[in-house]
Structure 1
Amino acid sequence: MASLFHSESAANPADALVDLAADLAAPVLPGHWDALRDSVSRGGLGGPLAPHWAEFFRRLGPEGFEGLPARESVLRQQIHDDGVTYNVYADPKQPTRAWSVDLFPLIVDAATWAEIATGVEQRTALLNAIMADIYDGPQRTLREGLLPPALVQGHPGYLRAMHGHRPPGDVWLHIAAYDLARGPDGQWRLVNQRVQAPSGLGYLLENRILVSRLFPEAFSALKVQRLAASYRTLMDTLQRLSPGGPRGRIVLLTPGPYSETYFEQAYLARYLGITLAEGNDLTVREDRLFLKTLHGLEPVHTVLRRLDDSFCDPLELRPDSMLGIPGLLQAVRAGNVLLANALGAGFLESPALCGFMPRLCESLLGQPLLLPSLPSWWCGEPGVCDAPLEDLRAWVVKPVHTECGFDAAVVANLDYGQLPSWRKRVQAQPAEVALQQYLPLPQVPVWNDGRMGARAAMLRVYALSDGRGGWHVLPGGLVRTAPPGSNIVSMQRGGSSQDAWVITGEAVDHTTMLPAPIQPQDLKQHHRVVTSRAAENLFWIGRYTERAEHSILLTRLTLEALSGDDDLSPEVCEALDQWCRRSGLVETETPALTEHSQLFERALIRGLGPGRHAGGIVQNLQALGHAAAQVRERLGSEHRKWIDDATAHEILPAGDTAHREDWQPSVALQGLDRLSEILCAITGAQTDRMTRDDGWRLLSIGRHIERLSLLGDALTTAFDTKAVHTDSGFNLLLRLFNSIITYRALYQKRLEVPPLLDLLVLDRENPRALGWVAQTLRARLVRLPGGDAECGVLLALAPDPDAWLLTEICAQDADGHYSCLEHTLGKVKTSAWQLSDEIGRRYFAHVSGADRSLGGY
């Protein structure tokens, strides 16, 4: 590598790096714009680098190109440490993958950016004017034929429910995104516009933080404009126009963790200092929007949404949506909620509108359109597409909207034999087809696996409303690059991304998003909002973690007992059978352990495979992973990794499932031992690495409720089957409670019921004893929000270990039954489930006490 990256072609080492970059650069395909040289490629290599790229390579530092592999390694490690991910629907084997960002940025000089920014500002003003005219204006665009009604009112993105509504400040578009590409003539052209719920603002910010730190000298020398002022503009606008005033609550509405860009939604919410909320975190009551939190319902005045229009309100829009908020549109029309962006912009995303934009700009703004689109035609107008159909390979066939039933096709990439079928499609359904001229995308330099390459790319730029009728263009953007050898930019198909550096001819803006310093007297009120959805998922994380640990331990104990040398008594076999069945470790049709131990053992091992039956270890781990995915922003990276490891762990060796009958207990026990270690790490993270806020308290409460139920049931079964009165049953029970070492240290080998119950029921220092669990549970309940009345209801349901007396629970009746113990254990199990239900009603569903917890109204 030293010889490859070393050059003596220039006396100045910095100039030598520029010459070396020109030598190492991959050739750009003829007819594509070469971003590295700022000119169209004629094929082959040659020509000087653009001045800004030459300056970038001069500033690589003393290690030059030899230092780039190390920087690339740092970049990959930082992405891993930050947990930056992207959900890939097209890959069922790996739906979530690490975010891909290239080491090199795309650099845009000041003059070029000034043209882009001016054109983007004008186009956003035009789109906002179209929205105002269509929904709350005279509809000139339709009456004067500037837009065909079929492309507006016939588009599923046109929402009649919003007709007559005018948003605060007449701002319909708070954020507009545009995909731009530079053609062979050097002209920037618009390819797509996204105005419903544009994505990328979080990823581009992460890209900037990652890449700028790796090239600090070049970043400073090139005077790259910073981004924070743009995000400040966005927040200032939302606060200024909010119905709740500057201090009104703002939430970012997310589709949830299965959204392809969920990471950036959580990242952006955290950066902006607002609450990330899913649809079921919010509720509408009396035309007002509220956030469901552990402290009750708190009013929400502004929603920055990442949810497409049709999913926002199942009452008035898409009835099958599970992502939206019933009644949201009514709250918006009542003027109580600001939506950013306003609903109803979906029709503006149609590629069929591009060809109408020049005339619309002249008519609505009185100006010529500065930023052209790619030449586009809507085939719904008679005769318009006759000429393009003669040479269809020069065009991209795009659906007018997403419900047309086909995906966009780059005809130049198709075989000639496929052309007739596409011509027939266009001719058969012309109103559903738009043709957009094929553009050889610009090629940008990339660094990949120790080599300089060139990839096709598009630049997504963002216009943000200033709330006063103007728009601010974020000085940068999200660069998306195509896979090697492709001219189609798609993150779903293996593409990557780059940071975009915009050189400023003015002073660099050092605005920060950091708020004013917090005063000591304000700290008491400074707490992180815990939504009811997050609290519910944390609650179930605790329960599923406890359930999985118990199931793993029980399976190990059962397999060890069945494969051991000692003959098991019928009482012990009956206890093990009931424990395993109630924990879902064997299927219901499995023969009883007392009748056929070998078949029972095989069924137990079979149940360790994936997708066996509800309640088993695998099912519990999958449920744990699902709950953790809903609140990944609240869990540390190691905590998430261990949960991922647990859900991905194969207890039995991978292979042909038909041979699972042949697996030996020793193989299963080995897999269970490794899984047990992972669960111990998860428990450690929950115990020692989470802040003790209300969310953590719900997680802990979930664990203790589950432990009460599981251990109470285990103890009941041991006494009902009389297994506790056998040596092996007595010891199994102690091991199931993780208390055998403590018992032997205190009582040696004396297998007597009173000391057993003292240790497993009453002991307040044994974390597996019912008394310790109940005592800890009550302490957690006291700290939950809601005041003395709420606390009193919950404490009344929770078992009180102070009422348990050893003399009573050890007493036997005339038939030899431990009636008081049975009664106590029955109440423990009943209390656990009643307490779980009541917590769900009060803190998650808010179905009781809602009239007195409106958080300020």
Structure 2
Amino acid sequence: MVSLFQSQSQSQGSFDPGEDCAALARDLASPVIPGHWDELRGGVSDGGAGAPLAPLWDHFFRLLGSGGFDSLSARQQQLLQQIHDDGVTYNVHADAAQAVRAWSVDLFPLLVDSASWKQISTGIAQRAALLNTILADLYTGPQRTLKEGLLPPALVQGHPGYLRALHGHAPPGNIWLHIAAFDLARGPDGVWRVVNQRVQAPSGLGYLLENRILISRLFPDAFSHLKVQRLAASYRLLMDTLLRLSPGGVGSRVVLLTPGPYSETYFEQVYLARYLGITLAEGSDLTVREDRLYLKTLRGLEPVHVVLRRLDDSFCDPLELRPDSMLGVAGLLQAVRAGNVLVANALGAGFLESPAVQGFLPKLCETLLGEPLKLPSLPTWWCGEPGVCDAPMDDLRAWVIKPVHAECGFEPTVMASLDYGQLPAWRERVQSSPALVTLQQYQPLPHVPVWSNERLAARAAMLRVYALSDGRGGWRVLPGGLVRTAPRGGNTVSMQRGGSSQDAWIITGDAVDSSTLLPEPMRPQDLINHHRVVTSRAAENLYWLGRYCERAEFSARLARITLRALSGDDDLGPAVCDMLDQWCRSTGLVEKEAPDLRDNPQGFEHCVVRGLVPGQHAGGIVQNLQALGHAATQVRERLGGDHRQWIASATALELLPTASRREELQSAQALRGLEQLTEVLSAITGAQTDRMTRDDGWRLLSIGRHIERLLLLGQALAVAFRSGAVHSDSGFNLLLALFDSTITYRALYQKRLEVPPLLDLLMLDRENPRALGWVAQTLRARMARLPGEAADKEALIALAPDPDDWHLPELCTHTQELHYTWLDLALTQSIDLAWRLSDEISRRYFAHASLPDRTLGGY
């Protein structure tokens, strides 16, 4: 249709790509529901179409270029591909079937003209200053707000977000809020109003940055010609303020405290930490010692002076706040009170997020700041005051009922969306528990243009903007925002329930700020001893990622060997049956209750196959893959896109199709599934050995793999000799296959199935990566490069088996009963040392137990 329109215009000699694109946008845009503000047309909608575009949008569409509307679908595909390539995700807890989904960004930005932005930014800066003043008054001031009845004491002190444990404590610079977020909506009258405010741990700054990068690249001409204000100066202000107010001074360590990978906005937390150049840390990465906060790293405990948190107050300290929290840091409040750490935002601001507070802000502003509130809120009433909500109850459908806090037991509900028969129950709820209820006047949300299914449509939207403190009493409103849009036909904005997002372009009439967050160029001397910080939690998860990768590979190989052996025509014999039985039980491929292989081969085979189906038993390959996926999730930010994708493929692979129900086909189907899994696991191993930077984290991953390989191969070799299976042709060959050394052995020794060359290849060969000697040698070399004092590392290396202590003549010595005493002793000692080594690595590098004083940074 678009191309036809253009060709017709060209044939008439009047084709102007820009003018015609604007005309097309006007004609093709979907009409907006009557009574809602229409951002595309710049006015309240009457439900009709074809009205002129707002000047900014007319200009935007004129700047699409010669491709015009025909280019929009291609740009949409570029956008989706870039989101995929960047791995931008959002954890959707409301959707159990798709807990992690790609971040949703619309192609078009929201355009805000300079006049509207001036009104917004002035009003938001005032509100941020007001909220900071309220906090100072309540925690360290005369509590004028309570004494003069500006805020009801029950609303403040009865709110779980008011923290009595911090009464009397003032944060550095008396700055309680370093970041304040406000959700805005434009009403039918064109006035922007505040709907919500977020002051504990506001989210969105990372997604806002990602949206800006994505969309500005797709419309470079429009971004430049419209003079869109840039964002970097605001982020630099945030970091400069934190460092200036930090108890540790300009050289302070700053961490971003995250709830972890299962947080719905984990991607943006990783992204923001990288952009700001600070360390991403979970609560388990931090510890408090003698009222000081430390980051647990492989190089010891490193002092932390600033915490930029994305964790709500109640979860931050299980010692003094929520005792069941696994996300916070025990003793954090005491470190805060001692003045040794700055937490941004300061703890204790949670009660200000209550929608009930909105109704008291106009009077608070006049009293505390001496001026009227410049940016209005939606009319809001707290029902805890007698008689306040009597009138609104007569017309309940004009209101939204919101809980005063999260523990009230119900979700915000738009009364206009309910049937009249449902209203009496809500009236009863309000009347029975008025102190838990806030009434906020319903306002139709504005509609913004979106590109959906190759059409210009409209969606209800809300704009989140951010005020940043300069640390001196002033506030800068970040010139941009995160636009959240409702699903098609909806009027409730929720990313958890199918909503999307947009970039917000603030059009400036002044010069565009060219600031950058890039630091000064590094000098060669700055790079001396420069290393990437590896937290103990990340190192531990990398260590276990390595172990589970190795365990999964070994289990898959063993399962294939076992199923092929059981389905073959060869008579395995009692010794080989015993060997396979012990191998499978020790690795969890079959349950302890599985029938004995020697007595019931078919039943045993069925148990091996059944173990490939999720939920059949608690061990084996499926459990290893689940643990592998969990460990990878914890260190997502350290893995490349392909690496993450292969791990996701491994954990999602269906080893035995559910459609396979005929027993005679199950082993063959299982073997095909295991072959697919082996290919994916090989790709994962390749990514780890060939694509990861050889830093301390990678060394722990490699150490984990080699400890696991030493344990698994050592135990398998011991069983093969103790059972006597190695002395039969089938047992000998099965052992070579399990060590993945069949081709090498045959190339060296052809068909000579003898113990001395076998032990030479599987125990002593320093060029065979499956030989225990190579594994032990590599393990010792990896540990030699771990951080720490030389004496400490020597003590650690001493726990690893030394292949120089193994000698082939001794290993081949046996009794008349073919008991290999020296071999059995060497294997037993190696296995025992591997377990002890694992425990010591955990104690030294992950738990930091009994650390010497020098690791405390001199404190």
TM-score norm. by structure 2 comes to 0.99
1:503 aligns with 2:485: no
Number of residue pairs matched by the alignment: 855
Q: Secondary structure at the match of 1:303?
A: strand
State the shift of 1:522 in Å: 1.4
Q: Secondary structure at the match of 2:503?
A: strand
State the shift of 1:468 in Å: 0.6
Deviations 1:69-88 (CA, angstroms, capped at 9, x unpaired): 11000000000000000000
Distance 1:326 1:429 in 2: 35
Distance 1:14 1:211 in 2: 19
Distance 2:618 2:782 in 1: 30
Please tell me whether the aligned partners of residues 313 and 325 of structure 1 are also in contact (alpha carbons under 8 angstroms): yes
2:251 matched residue in structure 1: 247
1:816 matched residue in structure 2: 818
Distance 1:237 1:529 in 2: 23
State the shift of 1:855 in Å: 2.8
Please tell me whether the aligned partners of residues 7 and 20 of structure 1 are also in contact (alpha carbons under 8 angstroms): no
Please tell me whether the aligned partners of residues 176 and 198 of structure 1 are also in contact (alpha carbons under 8 angstroms): yes
Match of 1:224 among 192, 204, 228: 228
2:669 matched residue in structure 1: 667
Q: Secondary structure at the match of 2:256?
A: strand
1:834 aligns with 2:836: yes
State the shift of 1:624 in Å: 0.4
Distance 1:450 1:662 in 2: 50
1:746 aligns with 2:748: yes
2:283 matched residue in structure 1: 279
Match of 2:449 among 445, 449, 452: 445
Runs ≥4 residues deviating over 6 A: none
1:393 matched residue in structure 2: 397
Q: Secondary structure at the match of 1:548?
A: helix
1:720 matched residue in structure 2: 722
1:584 aligns with 2:601: no
1:730 matched residue in structure 2: 732
1:798 matched residue in structure 2: 800
Distance 1:586 1:2 in 2: 63
State the shift of 1:11 in Å: 4.7
2:627 matched residue in structure 1: 623
Please tell me whether the aligned partners of residues 446 and 453 of structure 1 are also in contact (alpha carbons under 8 angstroms): yes
1:695 aligns with 2:729: no
Deviations 1:608-629 (CA, angstroms, capped at 9, x unpaired): 0002323310100000000000
The 1:218–1:8 alpha-carbon spacing in structure 2 relative to 1, beyond 3 Å, is farther
Distance 2:525 2:682 in 1: 40
State the shift of 1:848 in Å: 2.3
Alpha carbon RMSD of aligned pairs, Å?
A: 1.1
Paired AA for residue 72 in structure 2: L
State the shift of 1:790 in Å: 1.5
Distance 1:818 1:289 in 2: 54
Paired AA for residue 826 in structure 1: T
Deviations 1:87-136 (CA, angstroms, capped at 9, x unpaired): 00111111000000000000000010000000000000000000000000
Distance 2:366 2:54 in 1: 36
Match of 2:209 among 201, 205, 209: 205
Match of 2:191 among 165, 187, 193: 187
State the shift of 1:7 in Å: 7.2
State the shift of 1:58 in Å: 0.7
Deviations 1:309-346 (CA, angstroms, capped at 9, x unpaired): 00000000000000000000000000000000000011
Please tell me whether the aligned partners of residues 182 and 189 of structure 1 are also in contact (alpha carbons under 8 angstroms): yes
Please tell me whether the aligned partners of residues 591 and 619 of structure 2 are also in contact (alpha carbons under 8 angstroms): no
Match of 1:468 among 469, 472, 489: 472
2:6 matched residue in structure 1: 6
Please tell me whether the aligned partners of residues 764 and 771 of structure 1 are also in contact (alpha carbons under 8 angstroms): yes
Match of 2:566 among 526, 551, 562: 562
Paired AA for residue 369 in structure 2: L
Match of 2:428 among 391, 410, 424: 424
Match of 1:233 among 237, 240, 245: 237
1:535-614 paired onto structure 2 within 5 Å: 535-614=539-618
Paired AA for residue 293 in structure 1: T
Please tell me whether the aligned partners of residues 606 and 660 of structure 1 are also in contact (alpha carbons under 8 angstroms): no
Q: Which moved more, 1:38-47 or 1:774-783?
A: 38-47
Give the % identical residues: 74
1:73 matched residue in structure 2: 77
Distance 2:349 2:730 in 1: 71
Gaps of 5+ in 1: none
State the shift of 1:852 in Å: 2.7
Paired AA for residue 412 in structure 1: A
Gaps of 5+ in 2: none
Distance 1:96 1:692 in 2: 29
1:404 aligns with 2:408: yes
Deviations 1:609-667 (CA, angstroms, capped at 9, x unpaired): 002323310100000000000010000000000000000000011358xx475652111
Q: Secondary structure at the match of 1:500?
A: strand
Paired AA for residue 160 in structure 1: R
1:488 matched residue in structure 2: 492
State the shift of 1:45 in Å: 1.1
Distance 2:713 2:371 in 1: 76
Q: Which moved more, 1:107-116 or 1:522-531?
A: 522-531
1:57 matched residue in structure 2: 61
1:14-163 paired onto structure 2 within 5 Å: 14-163=18-167
TM-score norm. by structure 1 comes to 0.99
State the shift of 1:526 in Å: 1.8
Paired AA for residue 188 in structure 1: W
Distance 1:6 1:160 in 2: 68
1:650 aligns with 2:673: no
State the shift of 1:14 in Å: 1.2
Deviations 1:158-214 (CA, angstroms, capped at 9, x unpaired): 000010000001100000000000000000000000000000000000000000000
Please tell me whether the aligned partners of residues 543 and 700 of structure 2 are also in contact (alpha carbons under 8 angstroms): yes
State the shift of 1:17 in Å: 1.0
Please tell me whether the aligned partners of residues 88 and 96 of structure 1 are also in contact (alpha carbons under 8 angstroms): yes
2:174 matched residue in structure 1: 170
Distance 2:623 2:148 in 1: 61
Distance 2:258 2:679 in 1: 34
Distance 1:533 1:240 in 2: 29
